[in-house]
């Protein structure tokens, strides 16, 4: 499960880089990436609700 969460985080980070001048877009995608890593930091996101930290 940790691998799936890492993948989700990487996808969200790469989406954030698609619009480097749009700070709101980057922040939203960064929050989604953080959610996939650590559920305690950000409460909502596109992950499978395990988080890398919990799944590892």
Of the CA atoms within 13 Å of residue 14, those in its CB half-sphere come to 6
* H or E, element range at 31: helix 23-37
Q: What integer pLDDT is reported at residue 19 of this predicted model?
A: 93
What's the pTM value of the predicted model, to 2 decimals? Answer: 0.75
As a whole number of angstroms, the distance between CA 19 and CA 43 comes to 24
∠ at Cα 35 (11, 17), nearest 5°?
Answer: 35
Q: What integer pLDDT is reported at residue 23 of this predicted model?
A: 96
∠ at Cα 12 (35, 47), nearest 5°?
Answer: 40
pLDDT digits (tens, 9 = 90+) for 23-54: 999 999 988 888 888 877 777 777 677 777 77
């Amino acid at each position: 499960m940790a691998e799936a969460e890492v993948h989700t985080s990487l996808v969200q980070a790469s989406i954030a880089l698609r619009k480097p001048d749009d700070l709101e877009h980057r922040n939203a995608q960064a929050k989604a990436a953080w959610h996939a890593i650590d559920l305690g930091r950000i409460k909502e996101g596109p992950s499978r609700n395990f988080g890398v930290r919990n799944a590892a």
